[in-house]
């Protein structure tokens, strides 16, 4: 499945999150594949596009950051899949 993960930095957590990102790269664990990551220009939120069939991998990935970020994980489908779902 494909997911969009929206993240928001918690109050006062910018420096912690930036330092950890520089140190680790914020890469997903085995079981999740990051397709892209986009940071809003003001620096307090962003989006990750990823694929996974492993809910535990997504939970592990976000759990590593919940001390400084909040997340909203949304399953998404592409146009072709949506066209099939909504019928003709």
pLDDT of res. 11: 87
Record the pTM.
0.89
Which regions in the chain score pLDDT beneath 70?
88
pLDDT of res. 88: 61
pLDDT of res. 24: 95
Domains and CATH numbers, the chain: 2-86 (3.30.70.1060)
Spatial separation of the C-alpha atoms in residues 50 and 59, rounded to whole Å: 13
Spatial separation of the C-alpha atoms in residues 64 and 57, rounded to whole Å: 11
**What would the pLDDT profile of 28-53 be if each residue is shown by its tens digit?**
999 999 999 999 998 899 999 999 99
pLDDT of res. 19: 95
| Tokens 């997911």 sit on residue | 3
pLDDT of res. 87: 74
Greatest C-alpha distance within the chain? 50
Which residues sit opposite 45 in a β-bridge? 8
pLDDT of res. 79: 93
Two structure tokens written together for 72? 């909203």
């Amino acid at each position: 499945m494909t997911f969009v993960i929206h993240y928001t930095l918690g109050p006062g957590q910018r420096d912690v999150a930036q330092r950890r990102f520089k140190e680790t790269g914020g890469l997903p664990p085995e079981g999740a594949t990051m397709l892209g990551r986009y940071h809003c220009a003001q620096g307090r939120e962003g989006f990750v596009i990823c694929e996974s069939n492993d809910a535990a991998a997504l939970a592990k990935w976000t759990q590593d950051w919940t001390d400084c970020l909040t997340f909203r994980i949304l399953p998404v489908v592409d146009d072709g899949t949506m066209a099939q779902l909504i019928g003709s």
